[in-house]
Each structure stands twice: as C-alpha cells, then as structure tokens.
Amino acid sequence: MTLIGHSVCSAFTSKKLKIICMKKLLFTVLVVLPFFFVSCKKNLEDSTTVPTSTVGLDVPQNFKWETITDIQLTIKGQSDGMVEVQSPDGKTYWKVFIVANQSSTFVFSVPSYETSLKLKYQGQTVDLKIKSSTLSYEFQ
C-alpha cells in the first residue's frame, strides 16, 4: 500500500500534501475494496432443467386445471338494442344485438377467477353473479 501510495503521491513536493493524498488514497481503497467482496455471486446450480412429466406431482383430486370457464348466457329485453357483457373491472367479453321480447342465447369464455359479470343494455348496468355455467337475465 505504501509503495502504491508513494508512487501516486510522489508528484507532490510538500509533505503535508503527500499526507493528504495518502489519506484520500487510503479512504478510496477502504471504500471501494468491500464492493469486491460483496459483489454478486454466480448461480452454480443448473436451473435450465425442464420437467418432462407430471407423474411426480402431488395434485389434489379437486384441482381445476382449466383457466377459463365457458358461460352460456340467455338475455331478453323489452326493445331492440346492444348488450355488452363485461368483467367487474370493465373489460368487455362479449357484445350482442338482441331483438325486442326475444331470448338471445350465446356462449363466451371468461377467466375462471371471475365471480360476477356486468351487463350493460340501454343505459342500464346490472351485476350478475356467476353461480353456474348457464346464466339468464331479463331486462325490464
């Protein structure tokens, strides 16, 4: 350390300036050196293995593998108009034009985590709970 510090600080002629230079150099080394010891370490484990089978998995019998649910919805309204089916947060799943006083049935998919839907029809907004895969609603 002294040899390196001596060669770096040898340009200074004053003893006081050399001491200040040596202190700055020592401080810099003490601040920078710990970063070499606490730097990131390589992950030596092979994390690129991809499972080839589900044989070893312990999955409960009632586990649902599906991530979407098909819903059959029957809608009836008092007048012709567009019905929009949305998620509770406003994402549109389906739009359909219905004819006055005639039932209209259609099937669409929603994420399995959805528990309710919003139906919008001629200024009305209705919350409809998903209790089964077959739903119906009649607008008044």
What DSSP string runs through the chain? -HHHHHHHHTT--SHHHHHHHHHHHHHHHHHHHHHHHSS-----S--------STT----TT----SEEEEEEEEE-SS-EEEEEE-TTS-EEEEEEE-TT--EEEEEEEETT--EEEEEETTEEEEEE--SSEEEEE--
Q: Please compute the mean of the pLDDT values over residues 22-46 and round it to a whole number.
A: 76
The model's confidence at residue 53, banded by pLDDT at 50, 70 and 90, is: confident
More confident residue, 134 or 16: 134
Query: Does the pLDDT of residue 131 top 90, yes or no?
Result: yes
Give the separation between CA 123 and CA 71, rounded to whole angstroms: 23
- pLDDT score recorded for residue 1: 43
Query: Does the pLDDT of residue 2 top 60, yes or no?
Result: no
Fold of 68-138: Immunoglobulin-like (2.60.40)
Q: Mean pLDDT across the chain, nearest whole number?
A: 84
- pLDDT score recorded for residue 3: 46
With 0.75 as the threshold, say if the pTM is over it. Answer: no
25 membership: H or E segment, kind and range: helix 15-37
The model's confidence at residue 5, banded by pLDDT at 50, 70 and 90, is: very low
Query: Does the pLDDT of residue 85 top 90, yes or no?
Result: yes
Q: Which two tokens stand for residue 20?
A: 């200040």
- pLDDT score recorded for residue 99: 93
Domain ranges of the chain: 2-37, 68-138
